[in-house]
Amino acid sequence: MPKIKSSLVNFSGTMDDLVYVNSRRYTSHTRKRAKAGSKKNEPVLKQNYKRTAFLNQLASDINGVVGSNSEAHKPSSFYFELQKRFRSQPVNNRFLLLSTLEGMDVHPRYTLGRLKGHHEITTGFTKQKINFHVAVNAHPVEQRQTNCYSFELLLLTWSKSSRSARSQRQLSEWVYLRDARPVFEFSFDRPAKTVHWILCLKQKMGWNGSPASLKAQGMRIVAVGTFDKKEELLRKKTVAKQASMRTEKSTFEPPRVKPKRLV
């Protein structure tokens, strides 16, 4: 029988052919109940176990690489936010899973937007290189004991067969807030058979070429890409469909009720 957790709605346990899971880390969900004596061979459970292992591996991989390159900027909640976003996708397509991370700040409090600067990133490819063009349109706002800033780019790449990501990191020179707005060209090696990639950008404030505190920096997953044309087309269709659904929802207006009488 189901076990009551904290209310009449949130509970966990088994009822009929469904298993209810009340998770604090992830959203509550249900799965089909395995038949008696066949848990190891039940297709539904096999699929759940396989998906969980796949998501855990991908989230752990990204969490480890970002953690080792973030200098304590990454909070412990980052891994669970990765899992939450991954579980919003119903399929185990790595590119679609990675696409849910685009625009995600690594730290929910110390975000890239808090620095109030503005830059544009464009991407280019050759057979051996992945290039990023970073053009500063506006310097970040000067904070207490800061007079300069720098960029750090972290690139993660996956091949079709690899389970773990390969990472590369590059840093820009320090830019002083009173200087002209710079344009940077970052060029990374493109490993053989690379199919998926994500780019993290950190902007770090400083004083005379030395980093400032954690509060004066932000790190975000700014771009996600694939070299598989079919996957890119699939993402474009998915984005267009979601935009269409949002438009239909925003323009819908329920019928208006006329007054019964005027007094």
pLDDT digits (tens, 9 = 90+) for 78-122: 999 999 999 988 888 999 999 999 999 999 999 999 999 999 999
Residue 2 domain-assigned (yes or no): no
Q: Which domain holds residue 121?
A: 49-233
Encode pLDDT of 29-72 as tens digits. Answer: 666 566 655 555 566 666 677 888 999 999 999 999 999 998 88
117 and 59 in a common domain: yes
94 and 17 in a common domain: no
Q: How many folded domains does the chain comprise?
A: 2
Q: Collect all residues with Cβ–Cβ distance below 8 Å to 12 and sequence separation of at least 6.
A: 2, 3, 5, 20, 21, 22
Encode pLDDT of 146-201 as tens digits. Answer: 999 999 999 999 998 888 999 999 999 999 999 999 999 999 999 999 999 999 99
248 compared with 210, residue with greater pLDDT: 210
Going by pLDDT thresholds of 50, 70 and 90, the confidence category of residue 6 is very low
Residue 86: which CATH number? Answer: 2.60.40.10
Residue 28: per-residue pLDDT: 60
Residues 187, 125, 101, CA angle at the centre, nearest 5°? 85
116 and 181 in a common domain: yes
Rounded Cα–Cα distance for residues 119 and 184 (Å): 11
Residue 240 domain-assigned (yes or no): no
Residue 220 domain-assigned (yes or no): yes
Please, what is the end-to-end C-alpha distance for the chain in angstroms? 57
Going by pLDDT thresholds of 50, 70 and 90, the confidence category of residue 7 is very low
Q: What's the mean pLDDT when you consider all of the chain? A: 85
